[in-house]
Structure 1
Amino acid sequence: MSNQGYDEELREERAYVAALYERLDRERAVAQARYHGALGQTALTPGERETDVRCRSREAARLDFADNGLCFGRLDALSGETSYIGRIGLFDAENDYEPFLLDWRAPAARPFYVATAATPENMRRRRQFHTMGRRVLDFTDEVLGRPGDAGRGDAALLAAVNAPRGEGMRDIVATIQAEQDEIIRLGHSGVLVVEGGPGTGKTAVALHRVAYLLYTHRERMSRTGVLVVGPSPLFLDHIGRVLPSLGESDVVFLTTGDLVPGLSVTAEDPPEVARLKGSLKILDVLDAAVADRQRVPGEPVPVELGDVTVELDAGLADEARREARRSGLPHNEARPIFRKHVLALVAERAVAKIGEGWLTREDRGAWADLRADVLDELREHEELDATLDALWPELTPETLLGPLYMSPRRLEAAGADPALFRADGSAWTVSDVPLLDELAGLLGRDDSAERVAARRRAEEEAEYAAGVMDVMKLDREELDEDVMLVAENLLHAEDLAERFVERDTRDLAERAAADRDWTYGHVVVDEAQELSEMDWRALMRRCPSRSFTIVGDLAQRRSAAGATAWGPVLAPYVGDRWQYRELTVNYRTPAEIMTVAGALLAQFAPDVRPPESVRACGVRPWSRRVADGELPGAIDDFVRDEAGREGTSVVIGPPGVPGTVTTGAAPRAGGFATRNPRNPWIPPSAAKGLEFDAVLVVDPARILAGGPRGAAELYVALTRATQRLGVLHRDPLPAALTGLAEAGAPARAGHRRLL
């Protein structure tokens, strides 16, 4: 194409995209008007109004998020038809809804991602726009189906992966590759496992798959939403903008430590304790711990009544306990059954003792009357009530598990490993969360008192409403005979009372995140290799339909309780009815850095092949050995060098080093937000799933020595950089890195090339 022809087409494309934005603005104005109209709607019931408001709010938000990168490409078919591809769909309502812009998830948009020279999908040309804000800067054309073409051009992809990183993960909607698109659009509705090494885009694929599923199954999935589970708050902050940028808001982001609403995780278990808690064998311990709290008295307990004293002994309590357990109800829900049977058995003893010599069971009426009187007295008996509370206490997961950890006797009675003992029972760890979640089901809730209170409130509200209606009544004698319309002709007292019921105005994501019993239409699990058997049990409970997208890399497993293979983890829930896909291309990590990480991978996981990098960055990694006193200054040098560059940077070092930040920190452009900016560290465990332009890895030998999975942690640390990698070490370099360091020449004084 000549320069003149290119300029002319560029003007035409700019005009078309500008017209798309004008249409977007008009639709946004209409959506906002509908939203405000829904807010002021009075003709609907409160429930209908809330539903309408939420629907209008979602539509307005969808159009707002579409503003950035609205249109990013065009397809020209062999038939001569032209289609523009974008973040959302825009249609001509006056012309049979002909598309002005195709949503990237629509089937007709698929060739934009998968067409190649060998399989052009009936397309002649693919055009990719480079935009800034609402303006098209330029475009790149790929003519499809020509002999000698290797396939889809890499200009847009390489521009995206080489671009400086910002404050969070970006969507890849404009640069989805064929192997990624296949997974995103996979029709399988059950469990899908996507495995891939560092930089293969598995997280982005999982998030775009969520957007695709919400697009294709909107009616079903929007009612219950989607849960995305990640390894840390830092990771969730990093990926949190992707789905909103694709117009999806009915999504809850949690770590496994957040699965029990309101619980605060403040401690970390040693690897062996985490392994014990993560195993399904802990279920027997929990069952036994609950049973251990259903006691019988060691000595008979005297129950003093007005006319007689009877004893509550072990035999009587055990009979009531067996009856309650036979109900099969959770502990707290079986509690009223236990109490009821104890009272009945004690009452029988009391009646027999009171009527000794003058009353027999044959005198059924007198026996029943006396028994009823005794039961009334027993129900008001404070000492007996306290005894029954002690024998079968009402428990919460926290009040059972915390004291269990603190008591060697209770641990022994439950058949638990003594290693579970800890002095502070309420110092909750991530490994405790699935146990607490399991106990919530084992214990249940005794809500009988709440039901009684709710019934009383409803009666009081109805009574109040009836009084209001009495006030509203008109004197019928003052009305014309033809106008006999009064308040009670329009609504009943119960209807009026309903209008005073407090409504839940939270959106779906807020309600779901606060409700432990919420079940989701789909669940995404990232860094899934870290989850224990108990974690999986908790997650499966939250998705009865077993609709999961699971992404991970077994080679990066850090947790002692994590997965070593996918089949054993999934078999208890779906058998072999799950699908596996693998991503093999590294889009993030340049070849220079992946060579370093690959040498380490070959040592600790020789059967795993590292993903192939699509690019080289031209900057070779370096290493430098420093003394203890030189380390702060060397880190300062790195921070100072990177402060003048565009993009993000981070220092990754072993946990426990002064200055290491918590996993709640958030990345910021040009550096890393920490509590100690002079020493901006994060541990390798907090770096999982993140990416930065520049990474400084400190003390790799100490990372390796940090535990049985130290090699995996070092592998994670080495593969976070998209452009520049440096290594500072006080101890000799690990073997995999030493050989590489000796192979090159220093880049400048004080630095050694790792390649």
Structure 2
Amino acid sequence: MSTHPSSAASSNPLETERAHLAESRAALRAMREHTESLDISDVTANWVNAEVLASEMEQRIKALADLAGTPLFFGRLDFHQRVDAEGEHGFRFYIGRRHVHDASGDPMVIDWRAPISQSFYRASKKEPMDVELRRRFGYDGGELTAYEDEHLTDPAEEDTGSALLQREIEKPRVGPMRDIVATIQPEQDEIVRGALGETVCVQGGPGTGKTAVGLHRVAFLLYAHRERLARSGTLVIGPNRSFLRYIEQVLPTLGELEVKQATVDELVGHVELRSTDDARAATVKGDARMAQVLRRAVRAGVTLPTEPVMVVRGSRRWRIPAYELAELVEELLARDMRYGAAGEALPQRIAHLVLVRMEQSGEAPDDRVQNAVARNPAVKAAVKAIWPTVHPAKLVLRLLSDAAFLAEQADGILTPEEQRAILWAKPPRGIRTARWSAADAVLIDEANDLVTRTGSLGHVVLDEAQDLSPMQYRAVGRRCGTGSATVLGDIAQGTTPWATRSWAEALTHLGKPGAHVEELTLGFRVPRQVISYASRLLPAIAPELTEATSIRESAGSLTVRRVVEAELDAAALDACRAALTHEGSTGLIAADDRLPALAAALAAAGLPYVGPGQETSAEVRLTLVPASLAKGLEYDYVVLDEPDAVVTGEPDRRTGLRRLYVALTRAVSGLTVVHARPLPAELG
């Protein structure tokens, strides 16, 4: 493998490639201008279709934007030449973020998601996939500066690894998360290009690229199944808004502008959240057994009739005895129907019994008569008494505030101690005054689905899934009940009291028990010294997991410094100043209760900083991060303040050690640990 930087010795090939880049950008501009010039004023039958078409054209124009500083193509494939009667022919394709063609329709850049592009990611000397030459390009901003060639069919060329690939992985990170389209590895590509109907769970250690794999999988599925997913929809679910702001630019850089993003709390946002449960209450509310309690509670108001229904039509009266009505109700209860749908079916079933009697007496009623009977006041009154309307929020309110009602519905499911844990100490007057928690909102969502079926999307990406409760998994699973999902997480990073214990259990709660689990163990982001240091915690927090390894080895990337208590703040600031002398972003991560002191120290020292989720810039490259929000984020340099405070800030030691594991693995280039207290014994 040979790398060719910009120099006189290699100027001709570089100039040729730069010329192709310029021509490709010109072709992309022409494609956009052509789309903008299209007259669509008289091509639709009505104004509704016109609005839809105009919106689609607007999205198309946006997707054809040439993003400044973003390479239009990053690779080239030269396939084996063939010789036939017409002469010698070669096949050459440039691989990039989107398709670009010239005025004749010939491709100048092939979308990375196209089938032929697969060879760029998976071809090797062992399996060249008919590729003779793979060329990678190096960029500085949008300017092409170097190229690197791999002759996959040349046995004499030694495989020394890609310097450009390594450089791209290690490129300083300022601002939001970048795409990894130029650096996707074969094992990642297999997951990215999985079938739409396939639900996959990706267990990945820190820096293995699981989040990027999930986002690129969405982009691939939208490319391969655009029409189908345009109808059914896609969604990316993250742990918090800070995380979603960090990843929100990845899909637009790949030309996908319409993928919605949400947190689980936003997904089930039926009520305003005004309270926080303690760990015990949240754990019980998040337990899958609550689904059984709610199912009972939803049907608790159903009453078997004891009186007949008398339907008057004209001069005739039709009597349906109580035992026949009871049979209808028992049949509906036995079926796996939504409560609301069953309630709508009951008057039609009663009306059908009336019509049978009409036909037996010689009448010939039709569907209009059945609908009229179903709306008869006597039938409506009977249905209201037998099958009362259920309001999900009111039902959960009663369940959490009425001890007798909860005891009746949870009998044999929750212990008396568990029931007491979730009962509100002071029952609210009503829905508006209730202090709902995030776990309560999930219960309301479950109750809502028991009444009315939740709509399903075509594909859902669920990131940082290890922190979800079983009831939250159920809430997400409802959103992809007839679709598929990509589940991303790391059991070792689970920091909630109800954190996932096994992916098999989690996938069952999600409603996808047949999904397969892929494990990514090769890291690209975290330096080898850092991931090795953090992995000392694995025997205590997740002994069943394979330790992640890293392809990167940066000299001097790990520093552990002990100071006296009085100098801790100053030492943390000194470490930040040292990190800021390097290019890229710096994150100061600390236990949540340490943030006020560090914020004051930063302000006094005149060191500007932003909070997690806020975008850094060339002027402000330091982020002050509470350990509770560090998950999923990454910084070129990390200063970790007082590890023992991170551990003891959690309700139990195992959770605290998992929180520390997360904090230790946020660094891309360097980690400095500053501490006054002794380090946790598990670090060795």
TM class by shorter chain equals 0.7 to 0.9
**Displacement of 1:203:** 1.0
Q: Identity over the aligned pairs, expressed in percent?
A: 34
Secondary structure of the residue that 2:632 maps to in structure 1? Answer: coil
**Displacement of 1:150:** 5.3
**2:626 paired with 1:682:** yes
**Displacement of 1:406:** 3.4
**2:215 paired with 1:215:** no
Q: Distance in 2 between matches of 1:130 and 1:279?
A: 50
Q: Distance in 2 between matches of 1:519 and 1:201?
A: 27
The question of whether the paired residues in 2 share the 8 Å contact of 1:102 and 1:109 is answered with yes
The question of whether the paired residues in 2 share the 8 Å contact of 1:235 and 1:690 is answered with yes
2:294 corresponds in structure 1 to: 286
Q: Deviations over 1:69-113 (max 9, x none)?
A: 11112112221322111111123463xx43221111111112211
**Displacement of 1:656:** 4.0
RMSD of aligned Cα (Å): 3.8
The question of whether the paired residues in 2 share the 8 Å contact of 1:294 and 1:321 is answered with no
Change (3 A) 1:321 1:656: farther
The question of whether the paired residues in 2 share the 8 Å contact of 1:165 and 1:648 is answered with yes
Secondary structure of the residue that 1:545 maps to in structure 2? Answer: coil
Q: Distance in 1 between matches of 2:669 and 2:66?
A: 29
Q: Distance in 2 between matches of 1:608 and 1:377?
A: 64
1:90 corresponds in structure 2 to: 100
2:352 corresponds in structure 1 to: none
2:249 corresponds in structure 1 to: 241
Partner letter of residue 554 of structure 1?
I
Q: Deviations over 1:468-495 (max 9, x none)?
A: xxxxxxxxxxxxxxxxxxxxxxxxxxxx
Change (3 A) 1:695 1:572: closer
Mean Cα deviation higher: 571-580 or 631-640? 571-580
Q: Choose 1 or 2 for highest CA Rg.
A: 1
Change (3 A) 1:392 1:622: same
Q: Distance in 1 between matches of 2:425 and 2:339?
A: 26
Partner letter of residue 396 of structure 2?
L
Change (3 A) 1:337 1:10: closer
Partner letter of residue 138 of structure 1?
A
Q: Distance in 1 between matches of 2:595 and 2:424?
A: 26
Q: Distance in 2 between matches of 1:322 and 1:729?
A: 71
Change (3 A) 1:422 1:698: farther
Q: Distance in 1 between matches of 2:187 and 2:344?
A: 58
Secondary structure of the residue that 1:427 maps to in structure 2? Answer: coil
Question: Within 5 A, what are the aligned runs for 1:106-255?
Answer: 106-147=114-155, 149=157, 151=159, 153-187=161-195, 189-255=197-263
Q: Distance in 1 between matches of 2:378 and 2:545?
A: 73
**2:407 paired with 1:412:** yes
Change (3 A) 1:85 1:595: same
1:694 corresponds in structure 2 to: 637
Partner letter of residue 29 of structure 2?
D
Change (3 A) 1:330 1:581: closer
Secondary structure of the residue that 2:129 maps to in structure 1? Answer: coil
Change (3 A) 1:153 1:54: farther
**Displacement of 1:260:** 2.1
Change (3 A) 1:588 1:572: closer
Partner letter of residue 31 of structure 1?
T
- Structure 2 unaligned blocks of 5 or more: 82-89, 305-320, 350-372, 429-433, 600-609
Q: Deviations over 1:543-592 (max 9, x none)?
A: 23341111212222222323222223334676763223221211000012
1:735 corresponds in structure 2 to: 681
**2:423 paired residue among 400, 415, 421:** 421
**Displacement of 1:704:** 2.5
1:477 corresponds in structure 2 to: none
Change (3 A) 1:442 1:578: closer
Change (3 A) 1:333 1:608: closer
Q: Distance in 2 between matches of 1:268 and 1:628?
A: 33
Q: Distance in 2 between matches of 1:591 and 1:376?
A: 75
Partner letter of residue 667 of structure 2?
A
The question of whether the paired residues in 2 share the 8 Å contact of 1:142 and 1:152 is answered with no
**Displacement of 1:377:** 13
Partner letter of residue 627 of structure 2?
P
Secondary structure of the residue that 2:64 maps to in structure 1? Answer: helix
Partner letter of residue 637 of structure 2?
A
**Displacement of 1:407:** 3.7
**2:664 paired residue among 718, 728, 748:** 718
2:50 corresponds in structure 1 to: 49
Q: Distance in 2 between matches of 1:583 and 1:147?
A: 30
**Displacement of 1:41:** 5.1
The question of whether the paired residues in 2 share the 8 Å contact of 1:197 and 1:611 is answered with yes
Q: Deviations over 1:211-262 (max 9, x none)?
A: 1111111121122221111112111111111111101123111111111246
1:354 corresponds in structure 2 to: none
1:28 corresponds in structure 2 to: 32
The question of whether the paired residues in 1 share the 8 Å contact of 2:527 and 2:557 is answered with no
**Displacement of 1:392:** 8.5
Partner letter of residue 695 of structure 1?
V
What TM-score results when the alignment is normalised by the length of structure 2?
0.78
Q: Distance in 2 between matches of 1:41 and 1:714?
A: 62
The question of whether the paired residues in 1 share the 8 Å contact of 2:270 and 2:441 is answered with no
Change (3 A) 1:323 1:518: closer
Change (3 A) 1:32 1:692: same
Q: Distance in 2 between matches of 1:232 and 1:288?
A: 32
Secondary structure of the residue that 1:85 maps to in structure 2? Answer: strand
**2:16 paired with 1:73:** no
Q: Distance in 2 between matches of 1:437 and 1:555?
A: 29
Q: Distance in 1 between matches of 2:340 and 2:620?
A: 48
2:458 corresponds in structure 1 to: 521
Change (3 A) 1:135 1:665: closer
2:395 corresponds in structure 1 to: 400
**2:511 paired with 1:587:** no
Question: Within 5 A, what are the aligned runs for 1:361-400?
Answer: 396-400=391-395
Question: Within 5 A, what are the aligned runs for 1:366-515?
Answer: 396-415=391-410, 417-423=419-425, 426-444=434-452
What TM-score results when the alignment is normalised by the length of structure 1?
0.71
Change (3 A) 1:217 1:338: closer
Partner letter of residue 398 of structure 1?
A
Q: Deviations over 1:291-328 (max 9, x none)?
A: 556799xxxxxxxxxxxxxxxxxxx9999999878655
Secondary structure of the residue that 2:76 maps to in structure 1? Answer: strand
Q: Distance in 2 between matches of 1:632 and 1:671?
A: 23
Secondary structure of the residue that 1:59 maps to in structure 2? Answer: helix
Q: Distance in 1 between matches of 2:187 and 2:221?
A: 17
1:614 corresponds in structure 2 to: 551
Change (3 A) 1:586 1:52: same
Change (3 A) 1:668 1:219: same
Q: Distance in 2 between matches of 1:179 and 1:150?
A: 22
Partner letter of residue 622 of structure 1?
T
